[in-house]
Amino acid sequence: MAPERPRGEDAIPQPDALMGAGAVEPSTPHDSRSGSQLYAALDLGTNSCRMLIAQPKGSQFQVVDSFSKTVQLGVGLEASGRLSRASMGRTVQALRICQKKIEKHGVSRMRLVATEACRRARNSRDLMRQIRRETGLSLEIIPPEEEARLAVISCAPLVSRRTEQLLVVDIGGGSTELVWIDLSEVAPEDRQRAIMRLHTGFNQQGETAARVVDWISVPLGVATLKDQFHDVEDDAARFALMSWFFEENLASFSPYNAENPREGFQIIGTSGTVTTVAASFLGLRRYDRTKVDGLRMTSGQIDTVIRDYLSLGPEGRRTDPRIGRDRHALIMSGAAILQALMRIWPTDRLSVADRGLREGLLYAQMSADGVLEDGPYT
């Protein structure tokens, strides 16, 4: 899948074929005569509308078509509590394209969801009605726990066999989900499968279950955090305030005070912030998912990239091809969240995940239908 640009925005130019949790590279166009059913997953976030169409392939899935468009649905929401008419119009236009792709491919199994902006807006039901009326698509507004759960299972292929304590972080446009998972009682060879099984709920039972220690949905993402400090003119001061403010909002998360670095601890980050920082670290002028997904970065490497962003200033970030036109205004708020997380947790490494909610949606549908083979997920 393309980087989760705040679970939404496109960061830098990239191919239209997107892969994700358990996904394999697309090859030839789908032939409806092959008998393989197609599935669609759509994520309407605070900043963007994104969709994947895929077919099951062994224990994985193969992406057939994709769509990603920045719609800025959450613009003005922080101040008014409502979705603006203009942002609703942009969203409907994007969904018309999605509807045409779904119709073109004859997709019958789909899950179309909306997240934080629609959870918070007083007029989100008006948008849902407008979408049904003008596109025929029915979107559901999912709760934070389900959003977190879907993001977690999409990252299962990146979980190391050595991981005993796992933190999955999904930095969105309107919110950030964190899930702390204890895998110490699960056999190393079954840890990825244990994560995958969380699609049915966080309260798993049994000897091979992944135990969710705690999870939190912080109502601050790259767009909403940026809006909180839009009146601070100094670039460096604004960044420092955003990072501090985000950390303050983690105080109720029970593993927050984890102290000593320990063996077997892994952080996986999934978001446009994480993948853009990774692409910048690698010096990619054109995005390459195969180089980013699964990359491990040290906190020192992340800090170096963030310092470089700060030295560029707003204008330099706007023209930096590693960041991209749709991402430059949001990269520092995302970087503030990322830096706060790396400052807190007992590890100096982050695994980069180019996958997220859409992949989780696809896996959950295919798993429920029993169309995926039971096998390794890496």
In the chain, count H helices and then E strands: 14, 12
In this prediction the pTM is: 0.83
Selection from 192, 118, 116, 203 nearest residue 152 by Cα: 192
C-alpha distances in angstroms, 363 versus 161, 254, 369, 372?
A: 21, 29, 10, 9
For 26-60, the pLDDT digits (tens) are 444 444 434 469 999 999 999 889 999 999 988 78
- What does pLDDT average to over the chain? 85
The whole-number pLDDT of residue 91 equals 97
- CB neighbour list of residue 303: distance below 8 Å, 6 or more residues apart: 339, 342
The whole-number pLDDT of residue 255 equals 66
- Tokens 């990322």 identify what position? 338
CATH 3.30.420.40 maps onto the chain at 5-143
Output the six-digit token pair for 340.
Answer: 């706060």
For 3-14, the pLDDT digits (tens) are 333 333 333 333
Selection from 229, 321, 310, 222 nearest residue 269 by Cα: 222
Which long-range contacts (C-beta less than 8 Å, at least 24 apart) are formed by 230-239? Answer: 235/310, 235/313, 235/314, 235/332, 236/310, 238/332, 239/310, 239/332, 239/335, 239/336
For 344-365, the pLDDT digits (tens) are 887 889 999 998 899 999 988 9
The whole-number pLDDT of residue 177 equals 93
The whole-number pLDDT of residue 196 equals 83
Instruction: Give kind and range of the element (H or E) at residue 257.
Output: none
Residue 343's identity, in one-letter code, is: R
Sheet harboring 39-44: ordered strands across? Answer: 23-24, 60-70, 48-57, 39-44, 109-114, 140-141
- Using the 8-state DSSP alphabet, how is residue 133 labeled? H
The whole-number pLDDT of residue 207 equals 63
SS3 43: strand
Q: Which CATH number fits domain 146-353: 3.20.20.70, 3.30.420.150, 3.40.50.2300, 3.50.30.40?
A: 3.30.420.150
Give, in words, the CATH class of 5-143: alpha beta
Instruction: Give kind and range of the element (H or E) at residue 249.
Output: none
Q: How far apart are CA 142 and CA 104, in angstroms?
A: 27
Q: How far apart are CA 116 and CA 219, in angstroms?
A: 8
For 135-162, the pLDDT digits (tens) are 999 999 999 989 999 999 899 889 999 9
The whole-number pLDDT of residue 31 equals 46
For 69-93, the pLDDT digits (tens) are 989 999 988 889 999 999 999 999 9
For residues 259 and 108, the model is more confident at 108
Average of pLDDT values for 193-217? 81
Average of pLDDT values for 319-346? 88
The whole-number pLDDT of residue 79 equals 86
Residue 308 has pLDDT above 70, yes or no: yes
Scanning the chain, the segments in alpha helix (DSSP H) are 5-8, 77-80, 85-105, 116-120, 124-135, 144-154, 191-196, 222-228, 235-248, 272-282, 289-292, 299-319, 331-344, 357-369
The whole-number pLDDT of residue 373 equals 76
- Using the 8-state DSSP alphabet, how is residue 374 labeled? S
Average of pLDDT values for 232-250? 94
The whole-number pLDDT of residue 321 equals 87
The whole-number pLDDT of residue 19 equals 40
Residue 23 has pLDDT above 60, yes or no: no
CATH 3.30.420.150 maps onto the chain at 146-353
